Structure 1
Amino acid sequence: MGAAAWAYLARVVEGPHRELNALLGEVGPEEAAERIRARRGLPPGLARATEARHAEDRAAADLESAAATGFRLVTPEDPEWPVAAVQAFARGGARAPAPHALWVRGAPLAGLLGEAVGVVGTRAASGYGLRLAAEISAGLAGAGVTVLSGGALGVDAQAHRAALAAGGRTVVIAAAGPGVTYPPAHHRLFREVAESGAVVTEYPPGTRPARHRFLTRNRLIAGLGGALVLVEAGWRSGARNTVHWAGRLGRPVGAVPGPVGAAGATGCHAAIREGEATLVTGARDVLGLLRPVGAVHEDAQLELDWAPDPVQALPREELRIYDATPPRGPGARVREIAAEAGVPPGLTAQLLTALETKALVRREGARWRRCVGAATGRGGGAGKKISRD
């Protein structure tokens, strides 16, 4: 009876409903279903929301149809119900009610959503947007984070595919019911996602996608993940709606900046400018939003990518001598360099020798000068053995 009651409730109400959630907490699914059928003891809002479908009991057929396409109905009574993730909806108030049941194809939800991030963006993604979506999603998957997205064209599909290619897990939050793949071209992608991750929807079997269902679906992407990243979005992109949901639910949001003036970057730039999102440029930045402060060294990759050049790495005294050594012309004697740097001549001679071993200065007779291009490791004898006169 329990599964049948939940299946009835999953169809009788279009999407989530705050008053239904409250009634379920008071009397449970069987009594809630019976009250809706009998039209008794219902709060006004729930009575209106169920008026059109209360006599339409397709529970048995829906459970059978879902099973035929690999879906199961997951409810708060099941061990895999993602309790911690769903708790976020309590912060959203009446405007962001929690799901009361989910149709799932794939792995158990609780394990998938223990650490997850929503990755969203425009369907009309540019090459830049697709590249960043792939890099971020692969990086998150490599760090053991589940990638959530909506299964749409553009950024969504790229996020799912990159997570799979990295050997990670990803979840499609769909705006259509079991048995309906949208977009139809992603039938194979959804099947591959379900092999290690899951396809999830609030809508009963056979439900077709519609604009309002996409908007409602966006709240699930925002709420079921521990953070959200907006990769590329126009000014009126539906992905920005997901950002609004995340803010309402108290989830941290990151946005990737794009080229100034690019239409596909305006949504990201607006989210950053208006304080809805933090600027992020890669998976490590996103992990910094998701994990506790101090758990992620967000600048570590930058330190590798932009390591100090040989001159920037010099100790202070050696840098003074390097700066005082002429880069061109016949060079300068030790005493001249010492006077320019304000360092005793004896120490200057020692430091010049140290710089010579690093291929940063060259001695020509009694004079010294810098090696051209030494700061970047190009030309001027950088990296070469320098003979002494």
Structure 2
Amino acid sequence: MESVLFEVLHRSNPYVRRALESITLSGATISAFVIDFFCTSSLPIAAQLNIPTYFFVTSGATLVAFFLYFPIIHNTTTKSFKDMNTLLEVPGVPLIPSSDMIKPMLDRESTDYKKFLEFSLNLPNSAGIIVNTFENLEIKTLQTIREGKCNPNGHTPPVFSIGPLLATEDRRGAGAGAHDCLNWLDKQPIKSVVYLCFGSLGLLSLAQLREIAEGLEKSGLRFLWVVRSPPSDDYSKRFLPPAEPDLDLLLPAGFLDRTKDRGFVVKSWAPQVAVLNHGSVGGFVTHCGWNSVLEAVCEGVPMVAWPLYAEQKFNRVVLVEEMKVALRLEEAEDGFVAAEEVERRVRDLMETEKGKEIRKVVEEKSLEAKAAMAEGGSSIVALGKLTQLWKKG
């Protein structure tokens, strides 16, 4: 998917140039051009037109630190990340197992690796880096970046932490106040429910779905689980939304009946912000996508980290080792997670002292997130500085 995105956006460059030129020819001044890493190929266009360009990084500051340092790793190694079998040392970032590197970058010879390297080399050439995080969530990393330690041989642009940027919606769900799962949560005890959801692209095999079901049943805990159909065996359909899940076929026989008094299974989608905000939810099994992480942090919900794709294994290391807001789920070499591990980890999160410690940390971060977005908060101040730069431009 990443290769497709890079190529589609590269082929869009003539239209990007035409759009920028038409704005300037109309007499208007473009104060800033904001792009993400998939749009790196359009950076020279803006440079030719003397338009300041800012990269918006939708993940956290630790990923910014890695990308600034990535060219050094590239120039001092010869193996692919998947073959290194080592711990990567990046300033401002906890030690990252090379096998936990961003999934599309594991193969040094791949197109994705080369495109991400191109982004890393161009990141210092931008006018600034906008990050979807807040100062107190990644203090050490942001300080390390600003001190220039992640790009010791070159320039580090100013970094603006303006998050958490999340879709706003009614806390009962945008237009989904009567969603069955929220009504069900209303009847559950405070902080008693484990919520399981793996994002808009997170698809699990039939065998894995049944393993999760077994683990949840054995745990004896209350749960709210968003189930999506497994990925299609037809590769041509991989970019299409999965079919509506047939729960009776996907889950173990009798599972829904046996757990009906303490479990609720949702097909395909749930109003996640409203769910995490609900007082009955006490834990979150997540794929470690950054938006989901920020949503959980903002609502003070501790996590079990189960990464599936993209930069999620990288995020897991940060969540577990640096931020202390999640427990790590142990996987087999092929990524499969046994029912016993599902049971163990959800119980650890909900019932043990370790789980209580993580809950305390994430609840503190929740208060700090709200403060960052309040009047005079760090993210509002950073956004103000950014817009002042654009006004001067």
Normalising by structure 2, we get a TM-score of 0.30
For the pair shown, which has the larger CA radius of gyration, 1 or 2? 1
> Which of 1 and 2 has higher RCO (CA within 8 Å, sep 6+)?
2
Normalising by structure 1, we get a TM-score of 0.30
